[in-house]
């Protein structure tokens, strides 16, 4: 029993000593906490300040990057719009160039057809020139009796009309021959075998060599295809054909009158051959 009390007292003393040590440790810990609290608070404030500073810097960087992105997007949109406008302008130029090329090709075809018509006309003119020296002379039917003075007057008038028309035709052909000296390049035989594409290529080559601009309106005046003349060939051709028609018709009338006069004459009429 005594031993139990001694043991209890011993344990009590140990508890008291342990409590005292614990209290002392607690006091020391509180003192340490009190000593460390100011420095910890200062460090925390410093960390918070740094975090705020970094957050502000991040926000500023984010705002700057956002502005750059918006600026780049706007520049990209402007470049895309400019590229689209350039594309549209090029498409318009291509359409205009294609239309001009088609018009030029049509004009060149017309030029070739006109040249062939002119060459055909001149071939006909120069191969069959009029001969006014063989027209029927007024003295050819002086001995005609049947028909009297009226028949002779009709024949004389026809002879004069034929002579005037033939002389008109003769002078016209002389003028055509004279004027054609200035348009020899119009009848360049080398161009006759050219295709439209070759002619267009030659026109473009001439423009590049000369350093000028040969637009569609001036295409016919380029040195390569000088189809402009001092003569309106179509008008001259119409005049030529009309004169030939008049002469042929008058000659036919005169022949008919001469035949009537000859059938009633007692002596053969002296006449010269028609041309």
Query: Cα–Cα distance between 32 and 37 in angstroms, integer?
Result: 8
Query: Which is higher by pLDDT, 12 or 105?
Result: 105
Give the position of tokens 């997007």. Answer: 73
pLDDT digit string (tens) for 156-207? Answer: 777 777 777 777 777 777 776 666 555 544 445 555 555 556 655 665 665 5
Query: Cα–Cα distance between 134 and 33 in angstroms, integer?
Result: 151
Residue 269 has pLDDT above 60, yes or no: no
Residue 241 has pLDDT above 70, yes or no: yes
Is residue 219 within 8 Å of 203, Cβ to Cβ? yes
pLDDT digit string (tens) for 203-213? Answer: 566 556 655 44
| Lookup: tokens for 258 | 């001469």
Average pLDDT over residues 90-103: 82
- At residue 207, the pLDDT reads 55
What DSSP element (H or E) covers 221?
A: none
- At residue 48, the pLDDT reads 73
Q: What contacts 145, CB < 8 A, 6 or more positions away?
A: 264, 265, 266
Is residue 271 within 8 Å of 141, Cβ to Cβ? yes
pLDDT digit string (tens) for 36-56? Answer: 555 556 776 777 777 777 877
Cα-Cα-Cα-Cα torsion 199, 205, 209, 214, nearest 10 degrees, comes to: 60
Is residue 224 within 8 Å of 203, Cβ to Cβ? yes
Query: Which is higher by pLDDT, 12 or 268?
Result: 12
Q: State percent of the chain over pLDDT 70.
A: 45
Degrees to nearest 5, angle at CA 193 with 191 and 196: 80
Alpha helices in the chain (DSSP H): 2-127, 148-180, 196-210, 233-263
Greatest pairwise CA separation for the chain in angstroms: 209
Q: State percent of the chain over pLDDT 90.
A: 0
Query: Which is higher by pLDDT, 9 or 247?
Result: 247
Task: Grade residue 6 by pLDDT with cuts at 50, 70 and 90.
Answer: low
């Amino acid at each position: 029993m005594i031993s139990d009390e001694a043991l209890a007292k011993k344990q009590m003393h140990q508890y008291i000593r342990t409590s005292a040590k614990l209290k002392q440790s607690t006091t020391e810990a509180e003192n340490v906490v009190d000593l460390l609290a100011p420095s910890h608070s200062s460090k925390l404030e410093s960390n918070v300040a740094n975090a705020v500073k970094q957050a502000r810097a991040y926000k500023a960087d984010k705002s700057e990057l956002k502005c750059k992105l918006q600026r780049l997007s706007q520049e990209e949109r402007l470049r895309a719009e400019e590229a689209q406008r350039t594309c549209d302008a090029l498409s318009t130029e291509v359409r205009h160039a294609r239309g001009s090329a088609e018009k030029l090709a049509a004009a060149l075809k017309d030029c070739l057809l006109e040249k062939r018509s002119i060459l055909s006309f001149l071939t006909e003119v120069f191969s069959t020139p009029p001969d006014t020296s063989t027209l029927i002379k007024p003295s050819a039917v002086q001995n005609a009796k049947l028909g009297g003075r009226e028949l002779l007057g009709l024949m004389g008038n026809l002879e004069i009309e034929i002579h005037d028309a033939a002389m008109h035709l003769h002078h016209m052909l002389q003028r055509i021959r004279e004027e054609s000296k200035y348009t020899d390049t119009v009848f360049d035989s080398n161009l006759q075998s050219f295709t439209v594409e070759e002619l267009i290529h030659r026109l473009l080559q001439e423009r590049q060599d000369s350093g000028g601009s040969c637009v569609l309106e001036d295409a016919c005046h380029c040195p390569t295809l000088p189809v402009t003349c001092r003569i309106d060939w179509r008008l001259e051709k119409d005049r030529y054909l009309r004169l030939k028609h008049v002469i042929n018709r008058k000659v036919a009338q005169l022949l008919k009158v001469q035949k009537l006069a000859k059938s009633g004459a007692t002596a053969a009429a002296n006449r010269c051959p028609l041309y």
